[in-house]
Amino acid sequence: MIFKQFSKAVLLTAGFAILGFSAHAQGDATKGEALFKANCTTCHKIESQLIGPALGPLVTAETDDKWLTKWVQNNQALIAAKDPKALKIYNQFNQQGMTVFGSLSDGDVANILAYIRADWKTQQTAAPAAGAAGVSGATADSGPSDLVIWGLLGVIVVAFIVILVLNKVIGTLERLLFKGKGIILEDEVETEDGVAKVSVDKMAGLKHLAKNKKFIFFVILCGTVACGSWTWVTLWNTNVHQGYQPEQPIHFPHDLHAGVMKIDCQYCHSGAYKSKNATIPSLNICMNCHKVVKQDSKEIQKIYAALGYDPKTQKYDSTKSRPIQWVRVHNLPDLVYFNHSQHVKVGGIKCQTCHGPVQTMKEIYQYSPLTMKWCIQCHKRTEVDFSKGGHKGNAYYDNMIAVHDRIKRGEKVTEASMGGIECGKCHY
């Protein structure tokens, strides 16, 4: 009796625990999608790394939803408490703490986690079909895989060896067959002791292969495939400078300024918010800090020399000043029109979306391929929020909504009302 009562109590407790865990882990993916887009898309993607890590595999692998909830709501508290998981993530991303979302309830976080897992599962299920169609969900614009090219060359070499071996075997079998019929080959003579080989043309084998139409066709086919593959790879990568990292006249560590010091990108590249070009900052921007900071650094001394500045007298000599010959990293063709302000101010795009994690780069390099395909993929994925307050209610989208409302009312709409008389439409 005691054992039965104990068993019932244990089963009842286990049942409530399972139900409690299920209730905690269960969430509404539909509600989670709206919360995710409103709070998380600035720094995270589900399928790939943006500023923060890819959330799909991370959230799916982590089964402790209670810990994930604490991390989302107040990751700084976990880091301060020296939680092992929190410290691992914190150190992995150069000790950059995630934004605290104290306004999100436990249910909100559960909904977000449910959406991430559901979307990641959908992407994983669709991945084989997308791969078969030659379409990838990733943003990287890569050409034919090196593994495929080397695999193809390996198949050609193996096939060539197999053909040589088969020809050798066929030759041996022919000799045995002719010998059985008493036929003497050209490179053999009869003696009293049997058959003895005599010296023959060493190129006879190659000459024989040259007369083999199947072998000649195979060689031509392999050569055509190899040359075609080489041509394809060469053309695919023409003017694609992904990974380009030139040596600059002054070493500027972005990981120190944008990462450790957390200086906003637009403090230096102020043109990104208001003009077509992001602009290269003048040395006077550097002097805002380095007129005092690290005066003895060799790199800072280069700035002083370029400005004709004497740190001892704190005076400038314009006769000694000279421009710094920076080497351009990101260079689009002349036929491409790209406006930074349209993406940064209107679209609300983060610098890292195109330029990668600059806050981790010791020296800047071209992170993205910057190809037409890469830009089109981004435009296909990026959603435009026309709702009230969407994109912070900027005038561009407000004007578009107003124009559409006028069309619905049957009112006249001119090119000017669509921004057709803006200077930048023709002059850039």
Residue 9: per-residue pLDDT = 46
- More confident of the two residues 58 and 338: 338
Which pLDDT score is estimated for 3? 40
20 vs 183: CA distance, rounded Å: 91
Tens-digit pLDDT profile for residues 346-360: 888 889 999 999 999
Q: Any residues with CB less than 8 A from the CB of 178 and at least 6 apart, and which? A: 184, 185
Q: Is 225 helix (H, G, I), strand (E, B) or coil?
A: helix
Percent of the chain clearing pLDDT 90 (strictly above):
21
Q: What is the pLDDT of residues 3-23, one digit of tens each?
A: 444 444 444 444 544 444 444
Is the per-residue pLDDT at 96 higher than 70? no
- Strands 188-191 and 194-197 come out as antiparallel
CA distances from 309 to 249, 299, 306, 325 (A): 18, 14, 8, 18
How many CB atoms are closer than 10 A to CB 45?
19
Q: What is the pLDDT of residue 335?
A: 87
pLDDT at 90: 77
Residue 62: what residue type?
E
Q: Does residue 161 register a pLDDT over 70?
A: yes
Greatest alpha-carbon span in the chain = 113
pTM value?
0.48
Measured CA to CA, the distance from residue 213 to residue 195 in angstroms comes to 32
Q: Would the pLDDT of 186 be above 80? A: no
- For the ranges 6-15, 98-107, 260-269, the lowest mean pLDDT is seen at 6-15
Q: Taking the mean position of all CA atoms in its chain, how far away is CA 179?
A: 67
Cα–Cα nearest to 92, from 53, 64, 150:
53
Q: Range with the lowest mean pLDDT among 46-50, 262-266, 316-320?
A: 46-50
Backbone angles phi, psi at 189, to 5 degrees: -135, 155
- pLDDT class of 413 with cuts at 50, 70, 90: confident
Q: Are 278 and 271 in contact (CB under 8 A)?
A: yes
Local confidence band at 202 (pLDDT 50, 70, 90 cut-offs): low
Give pLDDT, residue 381.
84
Residue among 309, 307, 390 nearest 346 (CA): 390
List, for residues 62-84, the tens digit of each pLDDT value: 778 888 888 888 888 888 888 88
Banded pLDDT at 287 (limits 50, 70, 90): very high
Phi, psi of 311 (to 5 degrees): -65, -20
Average pLDDT, the chain: 79
Tokens of 20: 């409690």
Say whether 356 sits in a helix, a strand or coil: coil
| Distant-in-sequence, close-in-space partners of 345: CB < 8 Å, separation ≥ 6 | 273, 274, 394
**What SS3 state is found at 321?**
coil
d(CA 356, CA 49): 10
H/E stretch holding 416 = none
Which residues face 310 on adjacent strands? 315
Residue 35 has pLDDT above 90, yes or no: no
**φ, ψ for residue 171, nearest 5 deg:** -60, -45
Average pLDDT (221-228) is 90
Give residue 146's pLDDT: 66
pLDDT, tens only, 133-158? 444 333 444 455 567 777 877 888 88
Separation of alpha carbons 187 and 43, rounded Å: 78
Taking residues 364-392, what's their average pLDDT? 80
pLDDT of residue 168: 79
Please answer whether residues 7 and 76 qualify as being in contact, where contact means their C-beta atoms are separated by less than 8 angstroms. no
Q: What is the pLDDT of residue 136?
A: 39
* The pLDDT of residue 345 is above 70: yes
Lookup: tokens for 281: 């900052």
Q: How far apart are CA 220 and CA 318, in angstroms?
A: 68
DSSP notation for 74-125: HHHHHHHTT-HHHHHHHHHTTT-PPPP-TTS-HHHHHHHHHHHHHHHHHHHH
pLDDT tens digit sequence for 292-318: 888 889 999 999 999 999 988 989 999
Please give the share of the chain, as a percent, with pLDDT higher than 70. 79
Categorize the per-residue pLDDT at 25 as very low, low, confident or very high, splitting at 50, 70 and 90.
Answer: very low
16-132 CATH, one of 3.40.50.1970, 3.20.20.80, 1.10.760.10, 1.25.40.10: 1.10.760.10
Query: C-alpha angle with apex 33: 27 to 34, nearest 5 degrees?
Result: 115
Q: List Cβ neighbours of 278 (8 Å cut-off, separation of 6 or more).
A: 269, 271, 272, 340
More confident residue, 203 or 286: 286
- In single-letter form, the type of residue at position 310 comes to D
